[in-house]
Amino acid sequence: MTKILRIDTSIKGPYSVSKKLAEKITAKIGGDVTVRDATALPVIDGAWIAAAYTPAADRTPEQKAALALSDELIAELKAADVVVLGSGVYNFGVTGPLKTWIDQICRVGETFKYGENGPVGLVGNKRVIVAYASGGVPVGSAYDLATPYIRQVLGFVGITDITVVAAQGVNVDEAAALANADAQIAALAA
Binding residues are 10, 16-18
Cβ count near 150 (within 10 Å): 22
Q: Which residues are annotated as a binding site for FMN?
A: 10, 16-18
- 56-77 as b/e: b if 16+ CB within 10 A: eeebeeebeebbeebeebbebb
For residue 132, the surrounding DSSP H or E stretch is: strand 127-134
Q: Per DSSP, what are the bridge partners of residue 35? A: 6
Residue 118 backbone class (left: φ over 0; alpha: ψ -120 to 50; beta: rest): left
The DSSP bridge partners found for residue 147 are none
Q: How far apart are CA 118 and CA 126, in angstroms?
A: 21
